[in-house]
Structure 1
Amino acid sequence: MATILVIDDQKAIRTQIVAILRSEQYKILNAENGEAGIELAIQKQPDLILCDVIMPKVNGYEVLDRLRENPKTATIPFIFMTGLSDKESNRKGMELGADDYLLKPFTADELLQAIKTRLKKQEVFTRLARQELDELRENIRSALPHELRTPLNSILGFSDLLLCDLEKLKQADIREMLEQIYTSGQRLYRTIQNFLLYAELELAASDRDRSTILQDYPTNLVEGTIADQARLQAFKLGRSSDLELDLQDGFVAISSELLAKLLEELIDNAFKFSDPGTPVTIISSVTGDRFLLSVQDKGRGMTAEQIDKIGAYLQFERRIYEQQGSGLGLTIAKRIAQLHDGNLSIESVPHYYTIVRVSLPIADKSDSQ
């Protein structure tokens, strides 16, 4: 049965609530003040917390704020019990992350219904989170080893041939093998770099200080970076004639390295999942206070379900289409945009087209260096 922590400085109310909950076979923890409640929550990690708002020293808002900052207690369902019925008080609690409010005096039925509703929602949330974690594990298990082993096997195989038969090989064969080793090394290097960057971006997303440091870059005019990266990716893949550019310049506060990485992943995807001879179009413009970038291809496309499931190490239809990549590209690009107060969206029709749109805030020219 679920464990519930009751935090209230009034013993009579606390005793009454505990009696109601015990009659429903809930396991009970109770605390007579906010500080004791915080300690119990961290130590025992209950399934749900009922907390009074008005308490001496540490009030309910402070309890909630401190518990939401602690990773061990951040997702525990939290219900305020309060005699304050004004909208401002309720809004403050919701902004801090409260799940519900019970206005005093409340009936036993109201209390139990609120608890059952929150526990049921938490159960659904936990189940979905577990499913996503299982999917991530499976994607890592299937995608990452392939992306590490394939180029490494190529490097080791050709190196072994060179070491064993160097004197017998023709110059042209040696050169071809060295080119294969170099290409495989580049692929392996990119996989490792993407993995490390993904980890860094995820840490920044959950750490305000890291996020601030990441955003602390001078303003740059970005047309040149976009054009250079687009032409480089097109050249690498032998698709220079397929590239179409329609660019408007703008000042955006983002490092040239992260902007180039965002572009690399979007443009690489557009070429990778479209056929040679079909256009890849890159458009940038300034609308109001936003810098808008779109990358469009006329390739395989994605379903709405696939777009919703975009995440690290996730590739679609890998058994049908032979493809390289760990599935990190779009996730990295999306996270870079988000960490710079922007967003990334995808519009796609399977077998017709895909458009990836990125929106970033325009920066003040006076900040440029």
Structure 2
Amino acid sequence: MCACWAVTWLWRAPWVKARPSRVVSLNRARYSSLHKLANNPYFDRKQLEIEITKSLRSIDWQVISMISATQDVETNFDKEKPTRVLIIEDEKDLRLDMTDVLSMENFEVITAPDGAHGIAAALSKEPDVILCDIMMPHINGYQVLKAIRSHASTRLIPFIFMTAKAERSDMRAGMELGADDYITKPFSYDEMLQAIETQMQKVKAVAESQQQRVQQIHDLVTRSLPHEFRTPLTTILGYSEIMLQDAGKKGNTEEASRASHILNAGKKLHRMVENYLLFTELSTIDVDIETVAAHLRNSQYGWAVDIQAECKNLAADYGRKQDLVFNMMEEDSPLPEPVLTKMLHELLRNACAFSKQGTPIKITSGFDTRGRYEVSVTDYGTGMSESEIQQIGAYIQFNRNIYEQQGIGLGLAIVQHLAKMFDGALHINSTPGKGTTVSISV
């Protein structure tokens, strides 16, 4: 009786009525929920008093929230996806009361009045957690649990039984079928929330553990496997060069052709392996510029000493040496030579791959009017769409079904990482069908 009076007083207080309409609507819902709780034998009376106190203390916060809402009506206070709870309970009043309480706590609630509807809702909605009564007509809670555990899509959903039967044998029967927890009627508001929170924490812990395991496997493959390729690759490259030289001395063009194919294939695989290792190194937090420069200086196979000469060598592999147009200023670059060479290497490869032979490829470098050093590569090829530019990252290739490409899509991602190391940025200006300019400014 006292509890009901307190709920009524909470609603009738004049300073509650004076608030904006959205707050009034909110309090009507809260009043309705509290009034139901006061008359429900399954909820603890002491818990109800706590809820009333919470309501009183929340008034000022709600008023402040509504003032903020006049500036941004659609403010989203909790941007995380709400936990979806399925309640399977044949007693209507309890089902509605639980819905009100969970809704006020920002849960997304789905309800079912019996076992059959509960199974259907679980399969179609795939909730995050299920609260299910045991004693229900036709299909009881044990049968519901058995059905849900038999489907792959719902097998791992946390399942909490609600029951007035508190005997150990009943609990054991539920646990043997795969129930995750038990709450005994009448239960308090906090008991219900704690049971849900406990199950969600378990789910989160399992997901994090699985993610860590996947990451460990990824790191093992990314870091270790490329190193295992290095030794046999060194042998392939070394012996193919010897074969090519010997064939040249003997004038055996057929043998020279075979050796040349082996050498070129080895170089491509070598570049792929080194890009894997470089990208992994660049992705670590504590990597420093000197380490990266040393890695590039020691690992790149057959680079020419001069940057322009190296660009010509690379373009020659694509039959594009005559297409190069240089406009590189004779100024000291703030980028270490191995870093600048690597950047141009990757940008030039893209330009050759996505433009036709006979069209120019322009390479420029120098300081702009703001004193920033800029290097750019321009081609007049297929260009890139806005969505393709947004997707630039590791392991992304564009239109491979149309344009032949070598590698795995690490090039631009590596250039982007290298630019960031020097507080620089990668810029792409592209028009589909007309061409692309990729520039780095540092």
Q: Which has the higher contact order (CA 8 A, sep 6+)?
A: 1
Higher fraction of strand = 1
Q: Computing the radius of gyration over CA atoms, which structure comes out larger, 1 or 2?
A: 2
